[in-house]
């Protein structure tokens, strides 16, 4: 191949990657997301700003475990995952929730392709350090970014369920915020948008709850210490801190019920909470 052409193609590929962003949506929000949210995703896709979706589904997992009479427990925000729990996690995340999101995108005319971290070995994982205590919960060791790039090049929006796998074929339950942060880092996107059920990180100021427009890593650590950041917000901020060290410039936490929230964030509107890398 002539070298100018090769450079042009490499340049095009690099530009295409820059135009991707990772969007994580949590189980707490999924049911409440309006049709316009999916229309916004479709419009971004058709305009060439490619969304890569990583989703959760914690409440649906808990509901199904309860129906089956399987006890469930969280340790520091992570679900204790025994073998029977792992079966339900995979069934719900890679099955019903993943397909529900794909259908919602297709219903508004978007093109989506669902896959879990097991498919093609997309999300490689290893046991967390406290494996003996919490079972088959995984930490991400690597992400096969070329699978995501290939899906995008075929014209589909990847919709990824956070189930990981290792070389021996063992499955792992991975917190969706953690998985999304790892996907963002390995893809080298500049932005991750975390869609949840609150308008951002909130703090009480003179007895009034306010959304913080931006927070530093130190402020986050302080707010975890004081208990102002707790529960499901902890894995989000931890994933944000872990991923803003690489190519990722910012992580934005927003409320999915706000109209056209993704486009507005991508256009630079001051909305939600931005966790920005300090240079
Ligand atoms: N400082 C904070 N600001 C806003 N929400 C917080 C804060 N600390 C904890 N939270 C909790 O985090 C929740 C979002 O996490 P979670 O329920 O796990 O959502 P998701 O399903 O989107 O991952 C909020 O509904 C709120 O209860
Ligand atoms: C290890 C672990 O806790 N995994 C999560 C995976 C789903 C998830 O993270 O869903 P949300 O984004 O809706 O919370 C779980 O089992 O609930």
C-alpha–C-alpha distance, residues 134 and 259, integer Å: 38
- Ligand 1 surroundings by CB, under 6 angstroms: 26-29, 56, 58, 196-198, 201-202, 228-233
Domain covering 20-276 assigned CATH 3.40.1160.10 in the classification: yes
- Ligand 2 surroundings by CB, under 6 angstroms: 26-28, 56-58, 61, 78-79, 89, 137, 162, 173, 175-176, 232
What pLDDT does 277 receive? Answer: 78
State the pTM of this model.
0.93
Ligand 1 centre to CA of 238 (Å) is: 13
Write down the domain spans for the chain: 20-276
Residue with the two structure tokens 């069934």? 91
Residue 218: CB atoms within 10 Å: 9
What pLDDT does 73 receive? Answer: 94
From first to last of the 279 residues of the chain, give the pLDDT tens digit: 343 344 444 444 444 444 899 999 998 898 889 999 999 999 999 999 999 999 999 999 999 999 999 999 999 889 999 999 999 999 999 999 999 999 999 999 999 999 999 999 999 999 999 999 999 999 999 999 999 999 999 999 999 999 999 999 999 999 999 999 999 999 999 999 999 999 999 999 899 999 999 999 999 999 999 999 998 899 999 999 999 987 899 999 999 999 999 999 999 999 999 998 775
Backbone angles phi, psi at 229, to 5 degrees: -115, 125
What pLDDT does 7 receive? Answer: 40
C-alpha–C-alpha distance, residues 12 and 14, integer Å: 5
Query: Three-state DSSP class for 174?
Result: coil
Q: Which of 130, 131, 176 to mutate to test the pocket of ligand 2 (most atoms within 8 A of CB)?
A: 176
ipTM score of complex: 0.98
Distances (CA, A) of 36 to 31, 39, 144, 253: 13, 5, 31, 19
| Nearest partner of 101 among 189, 27, 188, judged by Cα | 27
């Amino acid at each position: 191949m002539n070298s100018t052409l090769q450079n042009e193609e490499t340049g095009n590929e690099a530009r295409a990657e820059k135009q991707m962003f990772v969007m994580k949506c949590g189980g707490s929000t999924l049911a409440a997301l309006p049709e316009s949210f999916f229309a916004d995703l479709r419009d971004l896709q058709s305009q060439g700003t490619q969304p890569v979706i990583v989703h959760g589904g914690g409440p649906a997992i808990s509901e199904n475990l309860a129906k089956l009479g399987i006890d469930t427990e969280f340790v520091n925000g992570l679900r204790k995952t025994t073998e029977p729990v792992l079966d339900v996690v995979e069934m719900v995340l890679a099955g019903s929730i993943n397909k529900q999101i794909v259908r919602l995108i297709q219903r508004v005319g978007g093109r989506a392709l669902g896959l879990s971290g097991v498919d093609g070995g997309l999300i490689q994982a290893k046991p967390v350090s406290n494996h003996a205590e919490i079972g088959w919960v995984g930490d991400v060791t690597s992400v096969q970014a070329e699978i995501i790039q290939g899906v995008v090049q075929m014209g589909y929006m990847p919709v990824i369920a956070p189930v990981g796998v290792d070389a021996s074929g063992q499955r792992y339950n991975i917190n969706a915020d953690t998985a999304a942060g790892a996907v963002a880092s390995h893809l080298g996107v500049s932005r991750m948008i975390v869609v949840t059920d609150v308008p951002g990180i909130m703090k009480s100021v003179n007895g009034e709850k306010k959304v913080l427009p931006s927070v530093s890593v130190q402020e986050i650590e302080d707010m975890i210490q004081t208990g102002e950041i707790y529960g499901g917000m902890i894995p989000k901020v931890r994933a944000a801190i872990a991923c803003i060290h690489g190519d990722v410039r910012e992580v934005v936490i927003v409320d999915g019920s706000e109209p056209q929230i993704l486009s507005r964030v991508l256009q630079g509107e001051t909305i939600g909470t931005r966790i920005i890398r300090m240079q």
